Amino acid sequence: MQLELKQATKQINNGTQDEKTLLDHVDFQVHAGEFVTILGGNGAGKSTLFNTISGNLALTSGKVLIKGHDVTHEPEEKRARFLARVFQDPKLGTAPRMTVAENLLLAQFRGKKRPFKLRRLASQKEHFYAMCQEVGNGLEQHLDTPTGHLSGGQRQALSLLMATLTTPDLLLLDEHTAALDPKTSKSLMALTEKKVREQQLTCLMITHRMEDALQYGNRLIVLEKGKIVRDFNQKEKEALTLLDLLSFFEASY
C-alpha cells in the first residue's frame, strides 16, 4: 500500500463556537502505480487532503501512512523522503534566484541529508540539458538562467522535472496546469503522463479541467464537503462522460 488515510479528519475553529470540518473521517487507500485524478468544487477538501498528506497541515484525528510508515505526526520536511509535490502557482516549488541547473541539482537531494561538499554542477550540465530538452519548450537553453526569469510554463515544467528527478513514492500534482494557457497546459500534461508512465509513479492529481480528469489516470475520486462521495476504478472511469462529471458538480451545490 503506497498511501493510506485512516479516518482522516481536519476541523478548524475560526474564533466562533462553530467548528468547520474540512476533512470528514476519510478512509482512502492508494496502491503502487495508481494515477488518481481528484475532482471537487470549491471547499470540497481537495487542498486540505494534499496538505494533510504532505504534512503542511496536521490532522485533528486519524492517521496518514505512506508505504506502511505512520507519518501522521511527522513534519513536512521529514515526509519529503517519501513524496514530491507540484503546486498550482508556478512561483512555488523552485528557488527564483537560483538557476535552472542549480534547482535541478538541489532536487537530487530531496529528502536526504545534505552534507557540506563540492556541488560538482558542471559535471551535471550535460545530463540536465538532455533532461530539459525532452520538455520541448526551450528550457534546455536556460540552464544558467535564474528560475524567476522563466515563463510560467517553463517554470512548471522545471517543477515537474524536479519532483520526478529522484522517483518519489508519491507524486502530488496540485492543479499544476491551472495557471497555464491551454496550449502550455496540454504540453505539460503530455510530459506528466510520460513521466508517470516511464517511472511507474504513484500519483494523485487535483484538477479542475474535466477533460484532463477523463483523459488521464486510472482512477477518479470526487470530493464533496470533506468526504469522498465517488470512487471510480479504471473501467468505471472509462465509461464516464463530461456530462457525468458536470452532474457531480451540480449536485454538490
Looking at per-residue pLDDT, the higher value among 42 and 85 belongs to 85
Please state, as a whole number, how many other Cβ atoms lie within 10 Å of the Cβ of residue 3: 24
Question: Under the phi-then-psi rule, with left for phi > 0, alpha for psi from -120 to 50, and beta for the rest, what region is 93?
Answer: left
Residues 160-201: pLDDT tens digits?
A: 999 999 999 999 999 999 989 999 999 999 999 999 999 999
Q: Phi and psi dihedrals of 28, rounded to 5?
A: -150, 130
Contact 154, 137 (CB under 8 A): yes
Task: Provide mean pLDDT across the span 60-87.
Answer: 95
Q: Which of 150, 173, 151 is nearest to 160 (CA)?
A: 173
Residues 37-51: pLDDT tens digits?
A: 999 988 899 999 999
- pLDDT of the residue at 174: 96
Its pTM stands at: 0.91
Task: Provide mean pLDDT across the span 204-214.
Answer: 93
- Tell me the three cell numbers of residue 136: 520541448
Q: Which residues contact 171 (CB under 8 A, 6 or more apart)?
A: 83, 84, 85, 86, 163, 164, 196, 201, 202, 203, 204
Domains identified in the chain and CATH numbers:
1-82+169-180+202-253 (3.40.50.300), 83-112+119-167 (no CATH)
